[in-house]
Chain A
Amino acid sequence: MPHDSLSFIFLDAVLANNFVLALFLGLCPFLGVSGRLETALPMGLATTFVMLVSSICAWLINAILVTFQIEFLRLIAYIAVIASAVQLVEMALKKFSPGLFRALGIYLPLITTNCAILGLALFQTFRHYDFLQSLVFSLGAGGGFTLAILLMAGLREKLALAEVPSIVQGAAISLILGGLLSLTFMGFAGLGGQT
């Protein structure tokens, strides 16, 4: 499979270079919101949605910045764009789909500080993806994030029933669990190899 085909980009972002388990992006919600399955799923979907929107915005912004040769403003521009995109998504959802808006609740504004979003925008710029590739990349990254947070939530729900020594409880067991998940995802590296 050529390295710039759409299917490769998608599979690479979902499995081989999973944003959470291989690239360590978006760990805060991964550890913080993965306590229960019913909160993990909306979080994953909301993040995917914001990723899609900010990926489109970042692509347009980068095209403008390159035209005017002011790439040193890229970081500031991206951050501002992501913050406004989240705000915009929030307002649009509130107007057109109150049900979904209530389901996502507090998670929507918090996505601004999720480093997976900015990471996505930066990676697609560094790898010189065109518009369609960026779109597929953001869908793959969002899907990978949702997959990781769902797996983690399922494991932690099981863990709640297990007898864990009190000293390991809390952050330590979550991290070790994340390590084991990450170890299994390493098996997918054969699909595409490291980038």
Chain B
Amino acid sequence: MNGESPKPVTWETFAAGLWRENPVFVMLLGMCPVLAVTNSAVNALAMGLATTFVLVASGLLVSLLRAAIPKQVRIATYIVIIATFVTIVDYTIQAISLDLYNALGAFIQLIVVNCIILGRAEAYASRNRPLPAVVNALGMGVGFTFALLCLGGVRELLGAGSLFGVALFGDRFEPWVVMLLPPGGFLVLGGWLLLFAWLRRRRGQAVSVEGGTCHTIR
């Protein structure tokens, strides 16, 4: 698209966040919202979309301002930019659906400290032109939403016997309530990581999943 761009926008720019660098399953970033709001598929989807919006918008702005931001105060600047967009999302969700707003609670505002967003701003958006920055942020956001849906879907299916609020198993199903409670979040995510480790082993890849933290990106 941009002939003179040093890093052309390819499918790979977008797809990195989907699987190979999936923020949740591979990089283990942004764990708090991942576990806290995924007790139903609807909540998971809403949280994923909100985070994607903040990722893309802040990625664009950071990329546009990357020449104007002094190196010394860049982290503070990024946080103020991110906090602005999170405030927008917060008030928007409150206006669209109060039920959803109450279900997500403080976790909408806690998107600010989600390390994925700050990590992308620091590691990608501040070094690239606006278009690749937006495409990459979109990929990360979709990957994050996908991971949230994986967790939210399984937890709602086991814990309430439904998916997106539609009952699937009929009246005879005894809901496994613990899956909706906090321990279920830990156990289901542990299970997914186990599944991916097994898949990776089967393909013979010697990629080890580090017990990574938010801190490694700083």
- Contacts of A115 on B, CB cut-off 8 Å? 32, 110, 113-114
Chain A: minimal CB distance from B176 (Å): 13
- Among the stretches B12-20, B123-131, B138-146, B203-211, the one at the interface with A is B203-211
Decide: A32 and B109 in contact? CB cutoff 8 A: no
Contact of A23 among B36, B115, B183, B201 (CB under 8 A): B36
- Contacts of A119 on B, CB cut-off 8 Å? 106, 110
Decide: A28 and B31 in contact? CB cutoff 8 A: yes
Main secondary structure of the interface of B (DSSP, over half): helix
Decide: A32 and B183 in contact? CB cutoff 8 A: no
The reply on A168 being an interface residue by CB < 8 A is yes
Given known contacts A31-B31, A113-B218, A172 and B197 CB-to-CB distance under 8 angstroms? yes
The reply on B213 being an interface residue by CB < 8 A is yes
Cα(A67)–Cα(B118), bound, Å: 32
Given known contacts A118-B110, A175-B193, A182-B183, A28 and B210 CB-to-CB distance under 8 angstroms? no
Cα(A144)–Cα(B218), bound, Å: 26
Decide: A29 and B194 in contact? CB cutoff 8 A: no
Q: Which of B31, B184, B197 has the most CB of A within 10 A?
A: B31
Decide: B187 and A179 in contact? CB cutoff 8 A: yes
Decide: B109 and A75 in contact? CB cutoff 8 A: yes
- Contacts of B181 on A, CB cut-off 8 Å? 186
Chain B: minimal CB distance from A83 (Å): 7
The reply on B49 being an interface residue by CB < 8 A is no
- Among the stretches B58-66, B82-90, B163-171, the one at the interface with A is B82-90
B contact residues, total (Cβ < 8 Å): 47
A contact residues, total (Cβ < 8 Å): 43
The reply on B8 being an interface residue by CB < 8 A is no
Binary per-residue interface labels of chain A (88-116) against chain B in the complex, 1 for a CB within 8 Å, 0 otherwise: 00000000000000000000001001110
Chain B: minimal CB distance from A14 (Å): 15
The reply on A171 being an interface residue by CB < 8 A is yes
- Contacts of A33 on B, CB cut-off 8 Å? 213
Decide: B32 and A79 in contact? CB cutoff 8 A: no
Decide: A32 and B90 in contact? CB cutoff 8 A: no
Given known contacts A72-B91, A115-B32, A28 and B211 CB-to-CB distance under 8 angstroms? no
Q: Which of A27, A118, A168 has the most CB of B within 10 A?
A: A27
- Contacts of A24 on B, CB cut-off 8 Å? 31-33, 35-36, 182, 185
Chain A: minimal CB distance from B36 (Å): 4
Chain A: minimal CB distance from B181 (Å): 6
Cα(A118)–Cα(B214), bound, Å: 16
Chain B: minimal CB distance from A51 (Å): 14
Decide: B87 and A174 in contact? CB cutoff 8 A: no
Contact of A32 among B32, B91, B214 (CB under 8 A): B214
Cα(A84)–Cα(B115), bound, Å: 19
- Contacts of A25 on B, CB cut-off 8 Å? 32, 36, 110
Binary per-residue interface labels of chain A (4-37) against chain B in the complex, 1 for a CB within 8 Å, 0 otherwise: 0000000000000000011111111101110100
Decide: B112 and A172 in contact? CB cutoff 8 A: no
The reply on B178 being an interface residue by CB < 8 A is yes
The reply on B44 being an interface residue by CB < 8 A is no
Decide: B211 and A122 in contact? CB cutoff 8 A: no
Binary per-residue interface labels of chain B (1-41) against chain A in the complex, 1 for a CB within 8 Å, 0 otherwise: 00000000000000000000000000010011101100000
Chain B: minimal CB distance from A152 (Å): 11
Given known contacts A110-B218, A113-B218, A172-B197, A32 and B112 CB-to-CB distance under 8 angstroms? no
Chain B: minimal CB distance from A58 (Å): 13
Chain A: minimal CB distance from B8 (Å): 32
Q: 8 Å CB contacts to B: which residues of A141-195?
A: 167-168, 170-176, 178-180, 182-183, 186
Name the residue on B nearest A182 (C-beta).
Answer: B183
Q: Which of B79, B84, B210 has the most CB of A within 10 A?
A: B79
- 8 A-B pairs in the complex with CB atoms less than 8 angstroms apart: A24-B35, A24-B185, A25-B36, A26-B32, A31-B31, A122-B109, A167-B198, A180-B183
